Copies of this chain bind each other. A is one copy, B any other.
Amino acid sequence: MTTTEKQPALIGQRIAKVDGLERVTGQAAYGADIHLSGMLHGKLLHSPHAHAVIKGIDTAAALKLPGVMAIITAADFPELTQEAAISGSSEYSIGAANLRRLWMAHEKALFSGHPVAAVAATDPYIAEQALALIKVDYDVLPWVKDIDDAIQPSATLIHEDLFTHTLGELPKKASNVAQHVEIGNGDIEAAFRDSDVVIENEYRTQRVHQGYIEPQASTAQVDPSGHVTVWTTIQGVHWARFDLASILNIPLGKLRVVPMEIGGAFGGKVYPTLEALCILLSKKSGRPVKMVLSREEVLRMTGPTSGSIVKIKTGCKKDGTLTAFDAKIWMDSGAFPGSPVAGATLAGFSVYQFKAFHIDGYDVLTNKVRVQAYRGPGAPQACFAMEQQIDLMAAKIGMNPLAMRIKNISKEGDPMTHGRPHVKIGFTEVLERVKAHPAWTSPINGPWRGRGMACGMWMGGTGNSSAHLTVNGDGSVSVVVGSVDLTGTRTSLAQIAADEFRIPLEKVLVTVGDTDQTGYTDTSGGSRITYSMGTAVHRACVEAVEKLKGVVAAQLKVPVADITYQNGIFKASNGQSLTFEQAARTSMRRGDGPVTAVGAVRRLKHAPTFGAHVADVEVDPETGKVTLLNYTIFQDVGRAVNPTQVEGQMQGGAAQGIGWALFEDYVYDEKGNIRNASLLDYRMPTALDLPMIGAEIIEVPAGDGPFGVRGCGEVPIVPPIATIANAIANATGVRIKETPFTPERVFWALRKAGKA
């Protein structure tokens, strides 16, 4: 794989983001920064009801408003082709038919905020005015509020045609449960009988939003010839093209999806939201159409992650050996299928080894906005439950909770919940680092203070990646990738290329290409880009070096096999040599043509990451307020290509996990409307809420991919809820089993326990 025997020079360096200046100076063009000639502005009409039949939509008055150029409703969607219906969508579970109904309510509005119509007008204010003139005739239905409601046998059905998807079973009646996953191993009854301690509890989490800074924004232009161009802020242009093409019945070659810069996503911009509506409005109006969501709309109609209920029973022996667990997980997926319950059963429960286990997972629908992915989807909810149980059992047998974890941790070759073995992982190294670190060993004094820890894992994404590169005549290299840059991957990919060529970083230009210009590439998500796209870029570099050897051989008039490349120098055995820059210059006139190369990656082995978090909290018994005193993350990242960026990922993920644990929540009124759809009322953590978060990087190289990197962006969000819950329990003696741990909830829990 590696062309030279060298020490990586740029890998591991703290490089400032190569596109940092454009971003901080406002030059980078985000979704809303596009202006096309004759462009119209689109606005959405939302359902004010959580559940209602749409009996009719009257757009006549709105269409008469001067400046209104087109109005669309579900009726403007083409019939779904059978192929699209079968091939589904880019998303693992929602499917094309549901995605279409999510973009715009068809027969029923399924959540408050569900788009029912869209207007394109010459300016956004006219479009807004027009919305008020559209008359929708609703037949309001009872709404399904939460998991408890949804799974009642008498529950109102959200979809009349939804049958639970279960392996090997064919349900007889429709329900609100979209999927039932059941996995297990070993004789669970015997294992519990054999336990010295058995503890059973129920844990609940709320739904939380990814909280990206940039609202969704898309622009579409449909040419008279049928060519469609979409400029959008989305995590993956190729997935978007696939979804839009199949649902709107456009040939792939006639649909170009151009990625704009993206202001945060965290899983919340995996699938298209506005793109199809912009396309239909552009088609109807004959003009380009831009739509930009407001913050209120982001919170009302784009997916948060699932709220959950986990009922779990765990057992252990007196010596700390884990014996068995039996878990039931319900995840609230909102109005369409797609909660991360399957992910939860794997990543959430494969951290420790039990003799036997059993998990039932349920994907449950409610009349709320449909969930989306959010960093390590499903794992934080499962981690919360499991890590409370570990602490509870450790306390019961009087064992140090870290020692109990170390004793039971999964190692290479141990089975995961789905039965396949763990690959090479750095779990042990992480916990050994914790054991010796002051964050864990330093004393914690004072009343109402406590320290907690928790562990989590994430499988790491792999998937398809395509890159191509050109060696320019001045020795610079242009790299074009099919993946959107969410997290600074232009920088890490530039480091990988510059390192492989051994040329200065500023000689490498990484461009994010559009769907016409790049090979198929899966979406940027699941911590896969540095790992998978990094491998694709690396492969293209290796191919380019081979081609440059041909150029150098032609120039030096020696056989190609005689040329070696090391530390930026092409050498012939007779001692003649050319630098990379000289070879690049020479490539303009010698050899088989300009040097270009491609790199493609199908599916690498998973390179899982493991993290342990330690937090110190202080609880105010008079108000219930939890203050974070210290927070430290320990994480195996395989190899930190850019430690500054890796730390940023770790700290950012933890900050979001802390918001989930302590502050954020969706507050609904009795009719299913969100009452806090603004950043003033939806309480995300700010810098004032957080201590400086310590980030300890552990490097246990992964077996596949260049340099042993592991994706590092997901796992930091997994342990925070569990870590803080354990810390609160240690500070107060009271264990709180439902998030968020707001002052109100903590206060009443203390009061109930007689402590406040």
Contacts and interface: CB of A to CB of B under 8 A. Distances in A.
A470 interface: yes
Interface stretch (A297-305, A587-595, A740-748): A587-595
Interface stretch (A100-108, A511-519, A607-615): A511-519
A601 B596 CA distance: 11
Interface string A11-43: 000000000011001010000010111000000
A472 B224 CA distance: 24
Name which of A225, A518, A590, A594 has the most chain B CB atoms within 10 A of its CB: A594
Interface stretch (A53-61, A461-469, A705-713): A461-469
The count of identical subunits is 2
Interface string A568-596: 00000000000000000000111111111
Most chain B CB inside 10 Å of its own CB: which residue of A25, A470, A473: A470
A36 B37 contact: no
A588 B472 contact: no
Interface string A592-632: 11111110111000000000000000000000000000000
A501 interface: no
A607 to B, nearest CB: 17
A755 interface: no
A223 interface: yes
A591 B520 CA distance: 13
Nearest to A478: B516
A481 B328 CA distance: 55
Query: Which has the most chain B C-beta neighbours within 10 Å: A27, A465, A478?
Result: A478
Contacts of A33: 37
A252 B519 CA distance: 24
A512 to B, nearest CB: 10
A242 interface: yes
A253 interface: yes
A39 to B, nearest CB: 9
Contact of A594 (B21, B517, B519, B590): B519
Nearest to A23: B225
A516 B472 CA distance: 10
A412 interface: no
A223 B517 contact: no
Nearest to A469: B519
Contact of A253 (B478, B515, B593, B602): B478
A35 B518 CA distance: 26
B594 A597 contact: no
A69 interface: no
Contacts of A513: 517
B27 A464 contact: no
B227 A478 contact: no
Interface in A219-259: 223-225, 227, 242, 245, 251-254
A464 B588 contact: yes
A45 interface: no
A472 B257 CA distance: 14
Contacts of A509: 253-254, 516
Interface in A325-377: none
A590 B476 CA distance: 34
Interface residues of A, number: 58
Contacts of A592: 600-602
A466 B593 contact: yes
A189 interface: no
Residue from A33, A520, A589 whose CB has the most chain B CB atoms within 10 Å: A520
A648 B508 CA distance: 42
A252 B473 contact: yes
A521 interface: yes
Nearest to A522: B594
Given A36-B35, A593-B464, A600-B594, A21 B224 contact: yes
Nearest to A224: B25
A433 interface: no
Nearest to A465: B593
B506 A253 contact: yes
A536 B506 CA distance: 29
A355 B207 CA distance: 92
Contact of A598 (B465, B477, B591, B598): B598
Contacts of A478: 253, 515-517
A682 to B, nearest CB: 31
A432 interface: no
A594 B27 contact: no
A753 to B, nearest CB: 54
Contacts of A37: 33, 35
A356 B513 CA distance: 57
A84 to B, nearest CB: 11
A474 interface: yes
A600 B253 CA distance: 23
A318 interface: no
A396 interface: no
A22 B480 CA distance: 27
3 nearest interchain CB pairs? A593-B600, A519-B596, A520-B594
10 contacts: A27-B223, A27-B225, A33-B37, A464-B594, A470-B518, A478-B515, A519-B595, A520-B588, A592-B601, A595-B600
Interface of A: 21-22, 25, 27, 33, 35-37, 223-225, 227, 242, 245, 251-254, 464-466, 468, 470, 472-474, 476-478, 480, 506-509, 511, 513, 515-521, 536, 588-598, 600-602
